[in-house]
Amino acid sequence: MKSDAKYTKSMRERLGLNQQEFGMRLGFSEAGAAVRISEIENGKASLSKKTRMILEMIEKYKGKENE
């Protein structure tokens, strides 16, 4: 399993979103979305179980979309 930092950044880039957009789509407030994603991508914070589950669901969906 990838580290939270690599996993988060790869998913965000795969979706073509900046940190602000990605964070808001994951449910972070507009004021803190970019900061929170930056912290995760730089290894200063970890993904919550809920957020990891959301990313895994997106990954499965995107995989099926490309089949």
At 26-64, the pLDDT tens digits run: 999 999 999 999 999 999 999 999 999 999 998 888 766
Which helix or strand (DSSP H or E) is residue 34 part of? helix 33-41
d(CA 46, CA 52): 9
Domain hosting residue 32, numbered range: 4-65
d(CA 26, CA 23): 5
Q: How many CB atoms lie within 10 A of CB 46?
A: 14
Instruction: Supply the pTM of this predicted model.
Output: 0.84
Q: Quote the number of domains for the chain.
A: 1
Domain of 42, CATH number, reads 1.10.260.40
